[in-house]
Structure 1
Amino acid sequence: MVKRAGRNLISISDLADADLEFILDRGVELSTKQPRRQLGPLEGAVVGIYFRKTSTRTRTAFSSGALRLGAHTIAFGPDDLQTVTGESVADTAHVMAGMIDILVARTAGSPEELRQLGAHEQMPVVNAMSSAEHPTQALADLTTLRARFGTLRGRRILYVGEGNNTAASLALALSRFEGVELELRTPPGYGLDEATLARARDNCLRSSASVRERHDMAELPHGVDVVYTTRWQTTGTTKSDADWRTTFRPFRVESELWETSSDALFMHDLPAHREDEVSAEVLDGPASIAFEQAWNKMYSAMAVLEWCRS
C-alpha cells in the first residue's frame, strides 16, 4: 500500500512563502505550549533518523520531536546501511520508502544525495545538514527571532564568522522577509559562495530586504537587533590553510561589539568553543539566547515534521 505523499525539505528554497510562515508560526506555537507529551499528529508514523555525522541538538530535536508527535523512530548510524558495502543511494531510498514515513538525514555531503533519497514522494526527506545548507537550523533561528520580536519585518542581523552552511541557510531565509537587513562579516576566503549570495539577493528584490557581505570588521553597523556567530570548525569540514586561525581571529565575537548595539541579542547555533569564536563573557552573558535557540530546535523540528506530512 502506498503511504500518504509528503514534501521534502532539502533547501530553504524548497519552501513556498506560505510554507515558511506555517513552520515558523507552528514552531512558535509549540514553543509557547512546551508540550511534554505526545500530541498525536504523527500517530503511527515511522521516522528514520539517519546521521552520518555527529550531532547533539539536531538529532535530539528530531528524535524527541517525532516521539512527542506520536511517531516511532528508527536510528541509523554512519555504518548501518548497505551503502557502505556498495549499494546505490537510489536503491537504498527505493527500499526505505516502502517502510519509513519520513527520513531525517545528515550527510554533510552534497545535497544531490539527499535529492536521491527524497526521490520517492511517499517518503519525505528532511535535510538535517549538508555541505551546502543547514535549513532546519535557520528555521529554528527564525522561530526564535519571531518568538522574541513578534515579527521578522525590519530586523537587523549582524553575522560574524565563516560563510558556512548555517550562514547560507540564514541568508536564504532572512532575505525573504520585508525590510530585513543581514550583514555578513566573513574572513577573507571563507565567505558565502556566489551562487548562494545571488539567490539571496534575488529574494531581496521581492522583499525589500538586503544582504551584504564584507571580509573585515571595520565600520560595523550600529543598532543591530542580533549578533550571530557559529563555531569556526564546521562539522564534517576541514580547512586547507594551516594558518587559518590567524585569518579568523579578528572575527571573534567579544563584548566590545555591544558598544554600538547595546540592546542586541546574541545567537549561536552551537556547539560553541568558548574563547575561540566567542568569549565566555558573551556566550554566558545577559544578551545570549543561544540555549533558548537550541531548545527551539525541537519545536521547529516538530513543525517541520508536521509540514512534511501535511
Structure 2
Amino acid sequence: MKKEIKHVLSLKDISDREILEIINKGTEYARGLVELGEQLRGKVIGIYFAKTSTRTRTSFSSAALRLGANIISYGPDDLQINTGESIEDTLQVLSQMLDGFIVRTSKSYKPLIDFSDQSNMTIINAMTFDEHPTQALADLTTIKLHFGEIDGINLVYFGEGNNTAIALALAFSKFSNVTIHFFTPSNYGLNKEVLSYAQNEAQKRNSQIYEFHDLTSLPSHADIVYTTRWQTTGTVKQNSNWRKEFEPFMVTEKLLSKYPKAIFMHDLPAHRGEEVEASVIDGDQSIVFEQAENKFHSAKAVLDWCFN
C-alpha cells in the first residue's frame, strides 16, 4: 500500500480544516503548551535555499532540530542543480535519502508539485516565485494569537502583488466573513488567475477579496494593515521608474492614522523609508517582531502536521 505523504506546496491544496489545524498547533507551540523533542525523532530533513533567507531558513532549521530531527543544509551552490542537473532528477535522488525537503527558489513551484506524487519524501515550499505558503500560515498563527479568531478579520494590504500577497489571498479565502483589500500598483498586482480562484473560494464562505490600483477606495475599517518590501527576493522590475509607481502605496503615519485600532504587520525584511515609515514599523501598532517569532512556532506546527 502506498504510504500517504503530506506536503505544503500551495495553500490551494490544503483544506480549511487542515489549515486551521496547523494554525491551532502553531498557537500551542507559541504558548509553550507542547513538549518538544520527539515529533521528528529519527527523521532527516534537507533544507535547500537557493535564495537568501533569515527568518524562514532559521525557523525551519531550528524547528526541525528542536522537534528531534537531523538536518542537512544546502546553499545555492551545493547541489548539482547549479551545474545543470534538473530539479526532477535532484528530487528523485534526494527522495531516496531524506524524509523531508524544505526548498526556497525564485522559480515556479511546478516541478515540486509534479514530484509530489511519491511516497518517500515530504516537500515544503519555503517560498517560490508563485507563492509563500508558510509565510501566510505564520501570519495566520499571529492573527489567531492576537485576535483569538480569524473569521471576521478585515485586512488591508499595500504594495506588490507578490508571492506573500498571493499566499495571503489563498489563506484568507478559507475563512468566513473575512474582507481583504489589496492595493497594488498597476502592472504589479496579484496573478489574475490566482486572485480569481481566491475570490471564488472566499465567496463560498461569505468573505470578500478586492484589488485596487489606487487609494481612492480605501475602506473605513481595518483590523490589520499589512505591507511587504517592494523588492521581493528573486524578482526584477521591468520598468526602471518603478519606484515612482510604488510611492503612493507606502504605509505612512498619515495612512495608518485612518486605522487607529489596527495592528501593523510586515513579513520582513523591511526597508524603512521605502514601503513603510520607520515611525510605523517601530511604533506602538506594529507587531512585526512578534510576527517574525511566530514563523518559528508555525514552522514547528507545519513539520508536526506533515510528519504526524
Do both share a fold (TM > 0.5)?
yes
The Cα shift of 1:113 comes to 2.3
State which of 207, 218, 240 in structure 1 corresponds to 2:238: 240
Q: Does 1:231 align with 2:229?
A: yes
The answer on 1:77 being equivalent to 2:75 is yes
| Unmatched tracts of structure 1, length 5 or more | none
- Is 1:10 matched with 2:9? yes
Q: Distance in 1 between matches of 2:125 and 2:33?
A: 24
Does the aligned pair in 2 maintain the 1:93–1:120 contact within 8 Å? no
> Does the residue aligned with 2:171 lie in a helix, a strand or coil?
helix
Aligned equivalents of 2:115, 2:60: Cα separation in 1? 18
Q: 1:46 aligns with which of 40, 44, 47?
A: 44
Once the two structures are aligned, what percentage of the paired residues are identical?
A: 48
Scaled by the length of structure 2, the TM-score of the pair is: 0.96
Which residue matches 2:163? 165
Aligned to 2:292: 294
Query: How far does residue 34 in structure 1 lie from its aligned partner after superposition?
Result: 7.6
Determine if the alignment matches structure 1 residue 27 to structure 2 residue 26: yes
Structure 2, unpaired ranges of 5+: none
> What CA deviation, in whole Å up to 9, does each residue of 1:14-71 have, x standing for no partner?
1112210110000011001187x84310011111100000000000000000011010
Aligned 1:179-190 pairs, distance under 5 A: 179-190=177-188
Q: State the alpha-carbon separation in 1 of the partners of residues 120 and 104 from structure 2.
A: 19
Cα RMSD, aligned residues only: 1.6
Shift in Å, 1:118 = 3.3
**Runs of 4 or more consecutive aligned structure 1 residues displaced over 6 Å after TM superposition:** none
How far residue 86 of structure 1 moved from its aligned partner, in angstroms, is 2.9
Task: Count matched residues.
Answer: 308
CA contact 2:177–2:206 (8 Å) conserved in 1: yes
Counterpart of 1:26, as a letter, is K
Contact 1:93 1:119 in 2 (8 A): no
Moved more, 283-292 or 212-221: 212-221
Give the C-alpha shift of residue 163 in structure 1.
0.4
**1:117-172 per-position Cα deviation (integer Å, ceiling 9, x unaligned):** 53432101000001010000000000000000000111100000000000000001
**Aligned equivalents of 1:111 and 1:162: distance in 2?**
20
Contact kept? 2:266, 2:288, Cα under 8 Å: yes
What TM-score results when the alignment is normalised by the length of structure 1? 0.96
Contact 1:3 1:101 in 2 (8 A): no
CA distance in 1, matches of 2:286, 2:224: 10
Post-superposition Cα deviations, 1:282-307, rounded to whole Å, max 9, x if no partner, equal 00000000110010001111111111
1:197: which partner in 2?
Answer: 195
Deviation at 1:3, TM superposition (A): 10
Shift of 1:249: 0.4
